[in-house]
Structure 1
């Protein structure tokens, strides 16, 4: 492990994905991220599909959309995953929610992505599912993604995010919700920056 990578992981270890980060912590972490991005070993990450593909566990973010989930009464953020299926150009964000016993929740969003540069993808959100883990039969991200086959009913709040519920390839701007840059990628660590200014640090997991 390189010194820069170790420095970043040590900086984010005590801040619980960013929930406990002070302003001083945030500045130190962003500086460590920038230093590591300068040493990116994969300058064209979208071509390195063998590295990109798989399940990624969120270690740190500045995204208030994600961190804000922890502020709801009786709800605490559990594990957050971003799962990439490069063969299908699909992305799945899955957040596990800790709450009262037997009422653990799940918030997920699926999207299609299209490369627009060697390190940037445009993201087209398609579907959001919010529900109880027990009702959905949630076991792990891989099993849940298999359940999200088109047309399969899930006992949850199931929302189409693609306008009329169908792909609009003839007018992709109707579905475009944002973009994501991959600014660092190696065999087990990925750093991304989103169109809203958020930063994401993720670790590859089975």
Structure 2
């Protein structure tokens, strides 16, 4: 063995032999092999330490900005809320596309009614139950009606008695609003109408305000009680004073028109409201 180490030629040959033939009795002389063997031993030593329960190195890195451990559990996730908001926004857009072009429901067919109802149910399912005892402030404001399933009956009263609509009649329905004041409990239905006039006079534009009071009867249901109707001319005749329409005495009022009604708010957010009435009427409003 000593003679082998003393001979440079033999040493060189042994190094090459040990590199190409791992089973050789002469090992660990080639520089590459020495380096690889050292890494292997270090890895084996680290594995042995962990198996023997020795203290481990702390591999947890910390953020330089927040000082929060990178491997720590994340804070309460906002991702679900974002996903839910995005889903509702998509469903609202779908509902608006379904009811667009239906003239607030006056031009709706049976197929249109079903599609609108299905689209509204999708939003209601994702949004969950409405609790007006907590979110009553969201009712505040002036809401624009963009769809009513009852208008498909072709009457201004929807599912209730009212004047019919049509091209040959002198009444044209304009915009419809609901003005709600949660402090005074005022609940006004505001209807814009255009009344035909004999030629050559232009049509008469009026705004009818049906004033109600409202109260909560449950977490999401509202009861409204009719008080009065006020008609105000607009356009060229806007200078005329408003006219209060006399209320029909209760004894002469038809049984179907009790002066009160109930509906449930099935979806409500900062700019959209969906309600379902006591006569199976679906209404969709946007804040104006």
Give the aligned partner of residue 170 of structure 1: none
Instruction: Tell me, in whole angstroms, the C-alpha distance in 2 between the residues paired with 1:96 and 1:162.
Output: 25
Q: Structure 1 residue 183: deviation in Å? A: 0.5
Flag structure 1 segments of 5+ consecutive residues without an equivalent: 139-153, 165-174
Provide, for residues 28-56 of structure 1, a one-character-per-residue CA deviation record: whole Å limited to 9, x for no partner.
11110111111226621353133110000
**Alignment partner of 1:7 is 2:94:** yes
Match of 1:39 in 2: 126
1:4: Cα distance to partner? Answer: 1.1
The normalised TM-score by structure 2 is 0.56
SS of 2:126's equivalent? coil
The structural deviation recorded for 1:125 is: 0.8
Q: What does residue 149 of structure 1 align with?
A: none
> Does structure 1 residue 192 correspond to structure 2 residue 249?
no
Residue in structure 1 matching 2:204, options 80, 96, 103? 103
User: For structure 2, which runs of at least 5 residues remain unmatched after alignment?
Assistant: 1-85, 197-201, 252-257
Q: Residue 111 and residue 137 in structure 1: after superposition, are their counterparts in 2 closer, same or farther (change >3 A)? A: farther
Deviates more, 1:106-115 or 1:128-137: 128-137
Q: What's the counterpart of residue 73 of structure 1?
A: 169
Aligned length: 180
Residues 36 and 176 of structure 1, relative CA distance in 2, 3 Å threshold: same
Mapping of 1:1-206 within 5 angstroms? 2-40=89-127, 43-64=130-151, 65-66=156-157, 70-71=165-166, 73-100=169-196, 101=202, 103-133=204-234, 137=239, 155-160=242-247, 177-205=260-288
Quote how far apart the aligned CAs of 1:60 are: 0.1
Q: Which has the higher contact order (CA 8 A, sep 6+)?
A: 1
SS at match of 2:100: helix
Q: Can you list the C-alpha shifts for 1:100-120, whole angstroms capped at 9, x where unaligned? A: 436112222111111110101
User: SS state of the match for residue 38, structure 1?
Assistant: helix
**TM-score relative to the length of structure 1:** 0.76
3-state DSSP of counterpart to 1:11: helix
Counterparts of 1:201 and 1:8, CA distance in 2: 9
The 1-side partners of 2:115 and 2:149 are apart by: 13
The question of whether the paired residues in 2 share the 8 Å contact of 1:136 and 1:155 is answered with: no
For residues 70-117 of structure 1, what are the alpha-carbon distances to aligned partners after superposition, in whole Å with 9 as ceiling and x for unaligned? Answer: 337122111100010001111000100124436112222111111110
Distance 1:81 1:94 in 2: 5
Shift of the alpha carbon at 1:161? 6.5
Alignment RMSD: 2.6
Structure with the higher fraction of residues in strand conformation: 1
